Amino acid sequence: MDTSMDTNIGGAAPKGDSHKYIIAFAVVLASLLQVIDNSIVNVALPDMMGNLGASLDEIAWVSTGYILASVIVMPLTSWLGGMFGRKRYFVGSIILFTASSFFCGAAHSLGLLIFWRVVQGIGGGALLTVSQAVLLETFPPEEAGMAMAFFGLGVMVGPTIGPTLGGWITDNYSWPWIFYINVPLGFFAAFMIATYVHDSANQKRSPSVDYMGISLLIISVASMQYLVEYGQRDDWWNSKLMIGLAVSSVLGGAALVWRELTYNHPVIDFRVLRHRQMWVGTVLGIVMGVGLYASVFTLPVFLQSNLRMTAQQTGIVLLPGALATAVSMWVVGRLTSKFDARLLIASGAATFAFSMWQLSTITSDSGAGDFLIPLILRGLGLGFMFVPLTTVTLAELDRAELPQGTALYNFFRQLGGSLGIAGVATIVSHDTIQAHAVLTEHVTTTDPASLARVGMLTRGFMGRGADVGTAASRAYAVLDRQMFGQASVIAYGHTYIIAAGLVLALIPLLALVRKSKTAGSAEMMLE
């Protein structure tokens, strides 16, 4: 055990660990690998389908299997760290993640690829939650904001660069290399953590295994995750499977909470939510997760499907926003000990909402330059929300409670993100159909603009050798596709307005947050 670390409340020595910046680099690298792997695979799925002879539904399990495994493991990380020792569990998870990455790339069948993706998710589920706990214990309380700024770099920047990196690797090499790239980076992170990270002085090994709690967790979380992943595809409540999954998720979740609150040695200690900062911050985190993922994951789809940009072009458009997020996190990491965190969160929410309003005005004729200012503002807003919100959420927890607190906070934020993505998919589909119906009403044989457009298209097809009937049929088909494109632009605009409203909803909820004297410490006072 490092003698420079004491056991005072807040989780770190007065000046923190002497290797705190090396540790920060190592754990951020580990968390970045996990976050990137959530999204890097998506752009390579078409190549995998062709190479492995899989259908779209079959290949989707390459992503779904990973997400299911990692989300289930997240709330278990505190218990697993106590069972095996946090350092041993952390290093083992990275090695498991890295080794399974290699086997994913080497897989020559769909079944093997899905199997190793599930194993990879089991290893990856620990990387975010343990990284956050390690950072908070490594840095002194007054630098908790800076610790969360380091952590936020992986969590927020990762989803932005993932699709771009995946597209570049797939285009220039082949899809197995999106997994192989993890191998050297993963083993390097494991070596750094094994060398510099220490076990927590307060970790405790549970005297028994809560098999019932683990089973209920798997049932409830797997049901919910599958529901939000495939509910839109199966028409939600018109599917008996989706209804059954919803019932299983709700009943399983309720039974899980009851079990863990009444069992002497729970696998998930929901009692940390007794702290006001913790439960309020968790609710805020869910809201932020819904609004954040609703915007972050729709824009790349819009750029590639509506504006016909490549993965590399999309990455270039998103890069300034990612850089703005990194800069704002560095800045706000230094401000959290000097300013009321609630003011920082409110300013970030307002900035983010304004950027969403700007994005809602985009059209099918928008170019890359039209996204520059909105995405920079979005990046700034994300940094000002994420760092202080995480800091105040965990501020009341003592050192022994940090692993469980970070596990639950990340778990619920991830669920909020899943709900946000599912909600956006439903809204875009519904609003596109509705907007298309409205636009179609204006395309009639008595509308001069419609007739002029059809006539121009018809003459163009006739000029390419088509007869009058075929040319007219093609002209109406083109016009219908154009209306669908315009309808989807309208639908995406609606989602950005909704994301803005959800994030603005954070501001009134901040009245429930206490004002911390020193961000990241357990010394609190009422405003």
Strand partners, 516: 524
Alpha-carbon torsion (473, 475, 480, 485), positive or negative:
positive
Strand partners, 515: 525
Element (H, E) at 422: helix 402-441
Residue range 240-259: average pLDDT? 91
What is the rounded distance in angstroms from the CA atom of residue 266 to the CA atom of residue 282? 20
pTM: 0.77
Q: What is the pLDDT of residues 28-44, one digit of tens each?
A: 888 888 878 777 777 77
Given this structure, which CATH class describes domain 1-206? mainly alpha
The structure tokens listed for 247 are 């019932």
Q: What is the pLDDT of residues 142-178, one digit of tens each?
A: 777 777 877 777 777 776 677 677 777 877 888 889 8
Percentage with pLDDT > 70 across the chain: 88
pLDDT of residue 444: 60
- Most confident by average pLDDT, 271-275, 349-353, 488-492: 349-353
Residue in 154, 117, 184 with CA at minimum distance from that of residue 30: 154
Q: What is the pLDDT of residues 100-151, one digit of tens each?
A: 999 999 988 888 999 999 999 999 888 888 887 888 778 887 777 777 877 7
SS3 340: coil
What is the rounded distance in angstroms from the CA atom of residue 74 to the CA atom of residue 203? 17
Residue range 290-302: average pLDDT? 73
Element (H, E) at 525: strand 524-525
How far does Cα 351 stand from its chain's mean position? 20
Residue in 210, 325, 317, 198 with CA at minimum distance from that of residue 264: 210
SS3 370: helix
Write the DSSP string, 304-327. Answer: HHTS---HHHHHHHHHHHHHHHHH
Of 421 and 371, more confident = 371
Percentage with pLDDT > 90 across the chain: 12
Contact 302, 133 (CB under 8 A): no
Given this structure, which CATH class describes domain 270-424+495-527? mainly alpha
Average pLDDT, the chain: 80
What is the rounded distance in angstroms from the CA atom of residue 291 to the CA atom of residue 385? 12
Strand duo 524-525 + 515-516: pairing: antiparallel
pLDDT class of 3 with cuts at 50, 70, 90: very low
Contact 322, 161 (CB under 8 A): yes
Identical fold between 1-206 and 270-424+495-527: yes
Q: Alpha helices, DSSP H only, in 231-310?
A: 240-262, 276-296, 299-305
Question: With 80 as the cut, is the pLDDT of residue 2 above it?
Answer: no
Q: Is 236 left (phi over 0), alpha (psi -120 to 50) or beta?
A: left
Strand partners, 524: 516
Per domain, the residue ranges of the chain are 1-206, 209-266, 270-424+495-527, 433-487
